[in-house]
A and B are shown apart, each in its own frame.
Chain A
Amino acid sequence: DAGVIQSPRHEVTEMGQEVTLRCKPISGHNSLFWYRQTMMRGLELLIYFNNNVPIDDSGMPEDRFSAKMPNASFSTLKIQPSEPRDSAVYFCASSTGQGIDTQYFGPGTRLTVL
């Protein structure tokens, strides 16, 4: 199994630009999670999908952030417009959505907003 795939691995952009991060979960997994990791705030859950439906988006920092999961094999996290304080590593994780879940993390996207 290829594991969780994220792209791009690194993104450098200028303030005000739109940024789109992509995630392909492990085949057969029904739950998908987006996290943000910074030195100051640690690992924060942004949003959680189950069967392609957003279940909890209370961690999304503000309206500039949006996430979609159009099908079981693809999700995006979009920031528009981006700001320097959005600089972080963004992780996608997936799990079976059943029983005692183990979440499998992707390698992350390191975002730098200048």
Chain B
Amino acid sequence: GDSVTQMEGPVTLSEEAFLTINCTYTATGYPSLFWYVQYPGEGLQLLLKATKADDKGSNKGFEATYRKETTSFHLEKGSVQVSDSAVYFCALSNSGSARQLTFGSGTQLTVLP
């Protein structure tokens, strides 16, 4: 079945540091890929998405590129802020799975001032 593997957390960075959170997936067909963010005490929010190979999703300074050859969708940001502290979830949606999302385990990011 479909699965998503995220890098283990937690991740702690200083403000303005470079961020990478690794995400790889296993799926049949051509899934769409997503990054969701969960701020403390809130529900998940879509951060960015990509629907086909080589697409780059971007939002709020975050970027991720859909790499079919390496089955990866790594999240990056050039300069993190304290306000980026949250849990980040990688997910996929496979057209053969009734549009259900398969989530990774989440990566806790803490940014220190």
List chain A positions with a Cβ less than 8 A from chain B.
4, 31, 33, 42-43, 45, 48, 50, 55-56, 91, 93, 95, 97, 100-108
Contact = CB atoms under 8 A, between A and B. Distances in A.
B42 A107 contact: yes
A36 to B, nearest CB: 12
A93 B42 CA distance: 13
Contact of B106 (A43, A97, A103): A43
A105 B101 CA distance: 12
A50 B98 contact: yes
Interface residues of B, number: 20
B98 A48 contact: yes
A100 B99 CA distance: 8
Contacts of B89: 43
A101 B43 contact: no
B43 A105 contact: yes
Contact of B105 (A4, A33, A42, A104): A42
Contact of B43 (A42, A55, A102, A108): A108
Contacts of B34: 102
B88 to A, nearest CB: 12
B98 A42 contact: no
Interface string B38-66: 00011111100101000000000000000
Contacts of B98: 48, 50, 55-56
A43 B93 contact: no
B93 A45 contact: no
The CB with the most chain A CB atoms within 10 A, among B43, B45, B89, is that of B43
Contacts of B36: 105
Contacts of B43: 4, 91, 93, 105-108
